[in-house]
Amino acid sequence: METVPVKMSDIKIPKRSELNEAKLRSLQNSPDSLPSLLHSKTDPIYLYRGTPPYEVGSGRHRVYLAAQSGIKLIPAVFT
């Protein structure tokens, strides 16, 4: 599985109301930095193929936090 850089502007960012607050807090309080969570080899972010904006298949909470942090590119796997 190879990750490719994807522009945040090409991803459908989940709304906070669609996310689990406890999961968000857990990620925000993680000893790992957000960039290291985004670049996880064992738990990559999955996006569905198609035309932008891409739907997030896995990693919605990390994508949301990346958008809130102003990150412009994230690594993702397309399914």
- Kindly state the percentage of the chain with pLDDT values over 70: 100
State pLDDT tens for residues 35-65.
999 999 999 999 999 999 999 999 999 999 9
Domain 4-78 matching CATH 3.40.50.1980: the answer reads: no
This prediction has a pTM of 0.95
Q: With left for phi above 0 and alpha for psi between -120 and 50, is residue 29 left, alpha or beta? A: alpha
pLDDT at 54: 98
Q: Are the beta carbons of 58 and 14 closer than 8 angstroms?
A: no
Render pLDDT for 4-35 as a digit per residue (tens, 0 to 9): 999 999 999 999 999 999 999 999 999 999 99
Angle between helix 21-28 and 60-68 (nearest 10): 60
Residue 1 has pLDDT above 90, yes or no: no
